[in-house]
């Protein structure tokens, strides 16, 4: 069975989607000599659908959205019936199969694979809408869908939007691990504390998603005082990854499948690529995808 990793922070502006698209892609792309290749699925669970835009060309994305081949179809059995003020509860607990929604980005003869399930701005109806009745059917559909994903992929990465909602609840409730991107600046610790509260609320005894803190956009010359403060905090230091993502322009958000760090020719792109490989390897070790 595959591992589910949600990338989330309640504080915006931390590079959450950039981390999800690059770390998820790298764990599918790179072949480390002592590790097996992996089948990776990226799920865009954010109404802003930036991850979708990074991997899919417009000519591919818009036909998928029009034909309802997005993550919204997992939550709604009829995505055409959307109300901005009320969440529509599906009549069936059976979601579509992952094979009907996953879009292949690339695959290799050795068995490595990277697929993406796109999002849509229409997901905002569920993010902001209120439920007149219990939404347990939606939660069941999502759990069944993730179980299907885990049976077919080694790693499932969920890029979840930075706000408490039905998406937050379903993502955390079906995750094995949570990667929390943090930009070490003033007030960063507040976002970490809120995330840990949400994660702990989903635990049942010792079972539940395990948090991992990844410092993002850190200076290339050394840690900031804010990073050192968080690393020394008894509440947070056990969750901090050793490696950090540096502030390289090569990590700028790609568009339509182009501009990823492994294809970049920007200044310091080779250093950025090595940085991404080191971070992704540590993430892979922490979440046990091998």
- Please state the pTM of the whole predicted model: 0.93
Q: Are 84 and 125 a contacting pair, CB within 8 Å?
A: yes
Q: Are 112 and 29 a contacting pair, CB within 8 Å?
A: yes
Per-residue pLDDT band at 107 (split at 50, 70, 90): very high
pLDDT reported for residue 136: 86
pLDDT reported for residue 161: 83
Has residue 80 got a pLDDT over 70?
no
CATH (domain of 9): 3.40.50.300
Rounded to whole angstroms, the Cα distance separating 136 from 192 reads 28
As a residue count, the chain comes to 290
Number of domains in the chain: 1
Q: What is the mean pLDDT of the chain?
A: 90
The CA-based angle 28-278-26, given to 5 degrees, is 15
Residues 15-73 pLDDT 10s:
999 999 999 999 999 988 888 899 999 999 999 999 999 999 999 999 999 999 999 99
Identify the domain containing residue 183 by its residue range.
3-287
């Amino acid at each position: 069975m595959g591992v589910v990793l949600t990338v989330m922070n309640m504080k915006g502006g931390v590079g959450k989607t950039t981390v999800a698209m690059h770390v998820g892609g790298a764990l599918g792309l790179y072949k480390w000599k002592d590790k097996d290749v992996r089948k990776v699925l990226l799920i865009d669970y954010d109404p802003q659908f930036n991850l979708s835009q990074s991997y899919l060309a417009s000519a591919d994305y818009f036909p998928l959205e029009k034909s309802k081949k997005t993550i919204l179809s997992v939550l709604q059995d009829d995505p055409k019936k959307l109300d901005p003020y009320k969440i529509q509860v599906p009549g069936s607990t059976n979601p579509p199969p992952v094979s009907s929604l996953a879009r292949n980005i690339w695959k290799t003869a050795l068995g490595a694979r990277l697929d993406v399930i796109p999002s849509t701005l229409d997901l905002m109806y569920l993010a902001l809408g209120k439920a007149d009745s219990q939404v347990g059917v939606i939660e069941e559909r999502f759990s069944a869908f993730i179980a299907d994903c885990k049976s077919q992929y080694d790693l499932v990465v969920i890029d979840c939007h930075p706000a408490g909602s039905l998406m937050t609840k379903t993502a955390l409730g079906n995750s094995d691990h949570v990667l929390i991107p943090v930009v070490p600046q003033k007030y960063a610790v507040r976002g970490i504390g809120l995330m840990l509260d949400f994660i702990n609320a989903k635990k049942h005894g010792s079972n539940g998603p395990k948090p991992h803190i990844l410092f993002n956009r850190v200076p290339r010359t050394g840690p900031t005082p804010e990073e050192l403060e968080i690393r020394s905090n008894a509440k947070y230091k056990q969750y901090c990854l050793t490696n950090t993502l540096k502030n390289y322009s090569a990590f700028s958000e790609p568009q339509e499948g182009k501009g990823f760090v492994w294809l970049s020719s920007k200044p310091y792109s080779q250093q950025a690529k090595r940085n991404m490989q080191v971070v992704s390897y540590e993430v892979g070790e922490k979440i046990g995808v091998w």
